[in-house]
Amino acid sequence: MAQQEDQLKYVISHAKEYGYIFPSSDIYDGLSATYDYGQNGVLLKNNIKEYWWKSMIQLHENIVGIDAAIFMHPTTWKASGHIDAFNDPMIDNKDSKKRYRADVLVEDHIAKIEAKIEKEITKAAKRFGDEFDAEMFKKTNPRVQRYLIEINEISSRLAKSLTDNDLADVKLLIEELGIADPVSGSKNWTDVRQFNLMFGTQLGSVAEQSQTLYLRPETAQGIFVNFLNVQRTGRMKVPFGIAQIGKAFRNEIVARQFIFRMREFEQMEMQFFVTPGTELEAYEAWKQKRMQWHLNLGLGEANYRFHNHEKLAHYANAAADIEFNFPFGFKELEGIHSRTDFDLRQHEQHSGKKLQYFDPEQQKNYIPYVIETSIGLDRMFLAVFSSALKNEELEDGSERVVLKIPAALAPIKAAILPLIKKDGLPELAHQILNDLKFDFNIEFDEKDSIGKRYRRHDAIGTPFCITIDHDSLENQTVTVRDRDSMSQERISIENLRSYLSKRVSLNALLKNLE
Ligand code: ATP
């Protein structure tokens, strides 16, 4: 645990030091769960957006994008169920005065039992050596079996009491499991209460006529209310999708995990409309497609896993999360949900407008079913950033900090470094920069020794350093140093563009998806 906290602290301080993420309103000591993206952060974020957007819009003939307003008609949230049911169960510790999400306390307890299972497996693996079969061991070892039954019982009970809105039972479960406040160790809990996560605000300046508006807690509803507009004007045929990237707001009860859980964040969502009856096939296909999108970045297969939901929302007939191994363990990065026709049907009822599709093949009208893929842009940022940050020991015994961000996502693609500040080297460096700047984001850097500049760009995550030396003036070649292997090669200046293109362009990454 302490190690995980240290790792997260390290990520946070590196993100601040290298211009990726600052606490919001830093000079006023920040605002909890709100962050600003700095000069490098905004570039990484935009590159992630572009990777997602193009993979959806450009690579699919039947997916289009929109950008809906953050404010929506208040009835939207009645129809979607957010006014009545967008709640999290909260509980306070009477001694420490700390507030927690009751379900998260129970989930953390389950994670501790899972950790015990992992420990048993590691121990056994050592004992049995090469012959060890972890799956078989899990199935047959009595102690592991007991742990698994315990986990199952706790999850089912939590799922049932949350579905039944039986908050007294959630509290009883916390007491029966002996869960203590992680900060103070106290078990002196208040009752569990529901807390609505939407931020409300007033529209209009005259108090009597004002209307409560909500800052959208998800971007999806902007897509549903535009279903007909897009279908008709785009002459879209089912199956088709609508994608959107935008801000969402949730008044989270606890937000202590850096940009993992913020009160203002960004979502990248796509709603895919299909013929009723074909939704589970489409759901499976999107699960695989989304996982492929992640694996394509090369952050390591072992960092991802699916978590299939046991407790389904009342409108869903299948749901799974893609979880990522964050500095604080495996947590949800993206959700893939089969939402039936719930949303369109609700909006049809509340608006009185028909939200149906005429299927020319079946010669009939129906409300399409929906598969949703929903990923938090900030969580994706954290996944890329935290898994890329490495402390490497080098052959000569020295250490380096390096941010191995996939080159196509890196904020700065290359740094141009004149070896010294005279003899015409800075001028040649600027000439090269001015030629390449239309294709790549490149930084000119002449301060400090070359070694220090390499280290600085390792820490920023710049995939290539291009060094200009005296030979460059003679033979029009430069040294290109690779961030990850630290190997260097001599490249002619006229080949630089194609050399970089092959290695840093988003196109190559996108082509891999096909
Ligand atoms: P969690 O269980 O972690 O609260 P959720 O299931 O409520 O998440 P969804 O409503 O499915 O999340 O939202 C879709 C995606 O939006 C999530 O997978 C996550 O990546 C992102 N997301 C949700 N809440 C936040 C938040 N407070 N801060 C940052 N990203 C978020």
Which of 67, 56, 350 has its CA nearest to residue 223?
Answer: 67
Pocket test for ligand 1, best of 48, 101, 253, 265 (most atoms within 8 A of CB): 265
Q: How far is CA 192 from CA 93, 173, 349, 411, in A?
A: 11, 11, 33, 44
Residues tagged in the binding site annotation for substrate: 101, 218, 265-269, 372-376
Pocket flag, ligand 1, residue 261 (CB < 6 Å): yes
Query: Pairing relation of β-strands 399-403 and 414-418?
Result: unpaired
Which of 377, 381, 397, 401 has its CA nearest to residue 389?
Answer: 401
Residues tagged in the binding site annotation: 101, 218, 250-252, 260-269, 332-333, 372-379
Closest atom of ligand 1 to 374 CA is 14
Put residue 461 in one of left, alpha, beta given phi > 0 → left and psi -120 to 50 → alpha.
Answer: left
Positive or negative torsion for Cα 16, 21, 26, 31: negative
DSSP string for 404-415: ---TTT-S-SEE
How many angstroms is it from 117 CA to the middle of ligand 1? Answer: 27
Among protein residues, the one whose CA lies closest to atom 12 of ligand 1: 335
Delineate the domains of the chain, giving CATH numbers in brackets. Answer: 50-72+215-390 (3.30.930.10), 87-196 (3.30.40.230), 394-511 (3.40.50.800)
Pocket flag, ligand 1, residue 332 (CB < 6 Å): yes
How many angstroms is it from 261 CA to the middle of ligand 1? Answer: 7
Pocket test for ligand 1, best of 267, 268, 312 (most atoms within 8 A of CB): 267
The pLDDT of residue 79 is: 96
How many angstroms is it from 200 CA to the middle of ligand 1? Answer: 19
Q: How far is CA 138 from CA 128, 149, 310, 376, in A?
A: 14, 12, 21, 33
Q: How far is CA 204 from CA 91, 207, 210, 211, 347, in A?
A: 35, 8, 5, 7, 25
Cβ contacts of residue 470 below 8 Å, gap of 6+? 419, 423, 425
How many angstroms is it from 59 CA to the middle of ligand 1? Answer: 26
How many CB atoms are located within 10 Å of the residue 397 CB? 6
Q: Which two tokens stand for residue 95?
A: 């001694």
Closest atom of ligand 1 to 255 CA is 27
How many angstroms is it from 50 CA to the middle of ligand 1? Answer: 20
Pocket flag, ligand 1, residue 271 (CB < 6 Å): no
Pocket flag, ligand 1, residue 279 (CB < 6 Å): no
How many angstroms is it from 164 CA to the middle of ligand 1? Answer: 22
SS3 state of residue 34: coil
pLDDT in tens, the chain (514 residues): 567 778 999 999 999 999 999 999 999 999 989 999 999 999 999 999 999 999 999 999 999 999 999 999 999 999 999 999 899 999 999 999 999 999 999 999 999 999 999 999 999 988 888 888 888 888 899 999 999 999 999 999 998 998 888 999 999 999 999 999 988 899 999 999 999 999 999 887 766 666 889 999 999 999 999 999 999 999 999 999 999 999 999 999 887 799 999 999 999 999 999 999 999 999 999 999 999 999 999 999 999 999 998 778 878 999 999 999 999 999 999 999 999 999 999 999 999 999 999 999 999 999 999 999 999 999 999 999 999 999 999 888 999 999 999 999 999 999 999 999 999 999 999 999 999 999 999 999 999 999 999 999 999 999 999 999 999 999 999 999 999 999 999 999 999 999 999 999 999 999 999 8
User: To 10 degrees, the CA torsion angle through 75, 81, 86, 87?
Assistant: 120
Q: Are 239 and 274 in contact (CB under 8 A)?
A: yes
Preceding peptide of 217 cis, ω within 30°:
no
